Amino acid sequence: MSEAPVLVFDSGIGGLSVLREARVIMPGRRFVYVADDAGFPYGRWDEEALRDRIVDLFAGLIDRHRPALAMIACNTASTIVMPALRAAYPGIPFVGTVPAIKPAAERTRSGLISVLATPGTVKRQYTRDLIRDYAGKVHVRLVGSENLAGLAETYMRKGFVDEAAVEAEIAPCFVSHEGRQTDIVVLACTHFPFLVNRMRKMAPWPVDWIDPAEAIARRALTIVETLPGGEALPDTKDSVVFTSGKPDANVLRLMHGFGLTAG
């Protein structure tokens, strides 16, 4: 019997930025990638409806894939759904993705950081609590971008992105105050690392862009290592599931490029 997989869940292609780190850190592990493309974009959902949707989806996913662990590779979901998932499925370890506000607050030299996220993540009490608990001494600008996740989807599927649109979405992250400037932008949506080179190009000045994917993958590894079994099987294939059931040819090609076959 094949080893239980690690399930990586997002609303679309964003979780691939976490999957690529997870594969480096957990070589030989089998992964099932789940794109809730029928629910994309999560940034615009009402909190309660999104929480219920994800908890319901996991009933079928757990039943079908029997994962060893599930990574919620989405900030917009993780900031509301983790307690509900853990309560509903106590037998599965869940690893979430939350805005990297703490490391940014520890690293900033100017004392000005920005958190670039979906409108949903920016609104969350969870995000506000992180700022209160870990970034009390720095100035945090929260930027809820309406369009960046969609731009990242287009870029990854079609290889094209409107740079002026990226520039407009990131512009509010750049703050100048009393001779100091923003020096760190937290990428608090897993879609955004795919656009980071364009963001660098369109930024008014250089900043450090924090992508938490590696930290999330390391957290998952520490849990996977404690689980029984889990021998690496070199021939197992990673797969992808789309909740729409009908991904377009571009997205299938993209998934294929990531070594994922529709399952």
Applying CB under 6 A, which residues contact ligand DGL? 10-12, 14, 40-43, 74-76, 118, 121, 149, 189-191
DSSP string for residues in 17-77 = HHHHHHHHHSTT--EEEEE-TTT--GGGS-HHHHHHHHHHHHHHHHHHH--SEEEE--HHH
Nearer to ligand DGL, 98 or 105 (CB): 98
> To the nearest whole angstrom, how small is the minimum distance from the Cβ of residue 30 to ligand DGL?
22
Nearer to ligand DGL, 162 or 233 (CB): 162
CB 70 within 8 A of CB 34: no
| Region for 65 from its dihedrals, namely left if φ exceeds 0, alpha if ψ lies in -120 to 50, beta otherwise | alpha
What residue is closest to ligand DGL based on CB? 14
Nearest to 189 by CA among 6, 58, 80, 43: 43
| Region for 3 from its dihedrals, namely left if φ exceeds 0, alpha if ψ lies in -120 to 50, beta otherwise | beta
Catalytic residues, which ones? 74, 189
CB 174 within 8 A of CB 150: no
> To the nearest whole angstrom, how small is the minimum distance from the Cβ of residue 11 to ligand DGL?
3
> To the nearest whole angstrom, how small is the minimum distance from the Cβ of residue 109 to ligand DGL?
27
Nearer to ligand DGL, 12 or 247 (CB): 12
Nearer to ligand DGL, 10 or 238 (CB): 10
CB 110 within 8 A of CB 80: no
> To the nearest whole angstrom, how small is the minimum distance from the Cβ of residue 17 to ligand DGL?
9
